[in-house]
Each structure stands twice: as structure tokens, then as C-alpha cells.
Amino acid sequence: MLSTRFTEEFGIEHPIVCGGMTAVGTADLIAPVANAGALGFLTALTQPTPEALAKEIARCRTMTDRPFGVNLTILPTLTPVPYDEYREAIIDSGITIVETAGANPAEHVAAFKKAGIKVIHKAVAVRHALKAEAIGVDAISIDGFECAGHPGNDDIPGLVLIPAAARKVQIPLIASGGFATGSGLVAALALGASAVNMGTRFVASTEAPVHQNVKDQIVANDERATQLVFREFNNTARVARNTISEEIARLSAQPDATFADVADLASGARGRDRVLTHGDMHDGMWWAGQAQGLIDSVQSCQDIVDGIIDEADRIIAGLGHSFSAAGSTASQAV
């Protein structure tokens, strides 16, 4: 048992999190993550309505009796999203842990806290983490530049960002971006985090609700197989490198380019249909982080979690032995 401040305060067996992922964070994945002793988050906006979210929460409860949460990402959209209604569906369903991301979640945090719900906020910079802490969240998930999704525009990798945040944030810190192994978990703990968040690693699981081609592509890809897009529009995103993402990057770099020039290629609906559902790996944009370079097999969520914890335990035990041996040798030398 690897006990940390995160596992103790959130009542989770292992210091491993599967954060919200659009189109992937459904009960099919999140229940197995919970059953493996980690903390998984259903993705609220993957469900078309608040009513559908309530049904998905209920479905997840039929598949696991362990804790799981819901992710609520607040982003500007062309079509207004009834965030308040999604929030109420979460509260009314008795969820005890929520992950927020995107814009300032202050209004939602206040409502969640009033309902006795613990809130984890995803941040990509120390200043954002401190702001979230000030409005009352219970933990920070800090995203290094290696992560899939939106890493911000500061380009600070986890090796610097995690300890920089740990020096200033007083609440539990979850390290995110580039994690897929037990050695990564040990490194995160050494840097001041008390858990790791993994997305790409859990997409390459037997239970993830995506086409097998997606899982196999993650295994085949190396750490170079990602593409930064949308930087020109001040909305940097890391996605898998393929024909579509390279074309998006090329078009975006043209003088006077606007998002409208790439909107069709970057459509989330296109990525979900052509890539995640039908496995056409070069016909839509899909999300993956640099952790691809550390993933060499598709495994069950149970095997993924067990393997990471076993590796972490061996490394920690080995480090203790190495330091003891080194200390003994030094004493003899003196």
C-alpha cells in the first residue's frame, strides 16, 4: 500500500487518477479504473444533456462500489452550455469528488463545497494553481507541458512545474503530463506531488471505449508523435501527430489565419466519429500526450494500476537499500 496525503484525504486506495477525457470518460472506463483502486472521472460534457449525465452516473454505480468523480470543464463554446444544470445533476446524483478545468470555476466551486463535495482543479501554471487554492478547491492537478490536451502557453515541463507548484501550494498536488509508469509515480512523489494523473495511459487500456486502432497506435507511437496546434490562436493544444494535425498546424501558420480555417479539420465530432469510433487514424484530430513513448502494451485498468504500484514499490525499496549501502560504504571509508 502506497499511502500519500492524496489517498488519505480523498479515500482512494492508490495515488493514481484518470482525469476527465472527452468522449473517453464514460462508465465503461471509469468503473474499471475505480475497481482497480484509482480515482477516475466521468466527463460531464461527453453526455449530451444533464439528464444523460445523471443516467451515466447511475450506470457507473452499477459497475463499481468504489469512489469515482465527475469532470466539469468550463470552456467558451459557440453553443451555450447549461453548466448550472450539469452542476446540479452532479450534486443531485450524490457525487463526492469533482474535477474542474478550463475557465475560473469559482461559482461552481462554491456550490460544490456547499454540497460537501471535494473539488480538484486542473491548472497549467503555478499562478493558476494559487488562484484555485484561494477560491477553496481541495487539490490541484498541475499539467506539465508533456500533457495531452491544453498545456497552456508557458511551455514549462513537469520536472520544473511540479516542484515549483509544490513549493507554494498548500493543498494536495496531483502531477499530470507524461506519466505512465511506476518510476514516473516515484518521481512525482519526490518532486512534491501526492498522486499522478494519467490520460493517454488509460486510453491504451482494454476497457477504454475507443477503437482498437487507437490503442494500438498509442503503443506504436514514440514520444515524438505529438503535434502542437492552435498556438496561433492562443489556445495551445497537444494532440497525436497524424495527417490531419500536421495540416492544421500548416494552415494555422499561414498569415492572417483564423480558427475558421481549421475548424472542420479540428472538429471534435469528426475526431470522435472517424478516429475514436471507426479507427481511421489519419482522418481526424485526436488527443494524446508524450507519454505515448512510455507505453508498450494495451492492458486492463487493473493490470495498469497494479503494474505501476508494484514498480513504484520496488523502486522505493531499492532506493532505500541503495542509500543504506552507500551510507555504510561511506562510514567504512571514513
Distance CA 81, CA 193 (A): 33
How far, in Å, CA of 70 to CA of 90, rounded? 7
> Kind and range of the H or E element at 132?
helix 126-134
Q: Sketch the domain layout of the chain as residue ranges.
A: 5-203+302-319, 212-290
Distance from C-alpha of 146 to C-alpha of 151, rounded to nearest angstrom: 8
Taking residues 44-57, what's their average pLDDT? 98
**Which residue has 499539467 as its cell numbers?**
143
Q: Is the pLDDT of residue 331 over 70?
A: no
Chain centroid to Cα 56, Å, comes to: 20
Residues above pLDDT 90, as percent of the chain: 93
pLDDT tens, position by position, 264-287? 999 999 999 999 999 999 999 999
Half-sphere exposure of 166 (CA within 13 A, CB side): 18
Q: Reply yes or no on whether the pLDDT at 59 is more than 60.
A: yes
68 — pLDDT class (breaks 50, 70, 90): very high
What pLDDT score was predicted for residue 322? 62
- Under CATH, domain 5-203+302-319 is a member of which superfamily? Aldolase class I (3.20.20.70)
- The DSSP-derived string for 23-89 is TT-SHHHHHHHHHTTSEEEEEGGGSSSHHHHHHHHHHHHHH-SS--EEEEEE---SS---HHHHHHH
Q: What is the mean pLDDT of the chain?
A: 95
Measured distance CA(321)–CA(317) in Å, rounded: 6
SS3 246: helix
**Mean pLDDT across the stretch 103-118?**
96
Query: Alpha-carbon dihedral of residues 111, 116, 122, 126, nearest 10 degrees?
Result: 90
- Residue indicated by cell numbers 475558421: 260
Tell me the sheet residues that pair with 17. 39, 197
**What is the share, in percent, of the chain residues with pLDDT greater than 70?**
96
What are the cell numbers at 212? 482498437
> Is the pLDDT assigned to residue 103 strictly greater than 50?
yes
Which residue type occupies 314?
R
Count how many residues are written for the chain.
Answer: 334
Instruction: For residue 126, name the pLDDT band (cuts at 50, 70, 90).
Output: very high
Give the per-residue pLDDT at 76.
74
User: Residue 323: which pLDDT band, with cuts at 50, 70 and 90?
Assistant: low
> What's the pLDDT score for residue 78?
72
Q: Is the pLDDT of residue 327 over 90?
A: no
Whether 325 shows a pLDDT value over 80: the answer reads no
Q: Give residue-wise pLDDT tens across range 203-252.
A: 999 999 999 999 999 999 999 999 999 999 999 999 999 999 999 999 99
Reference 56, options 11, 23, 99, 80; nearest CA is 23
Could you tell me the pLDDT band of residue 1, with boundaries at 50, 70 and 90? Answer: confident
Contacts (Cβ under 8 Å, ≥6 apart) of 6: 12, 15, 139, 172, 174, 194, 195
Task: Say whether pLDDT at 332 is over 50.
Answer: no
pLDDT, mean of residues 323-327 = 52
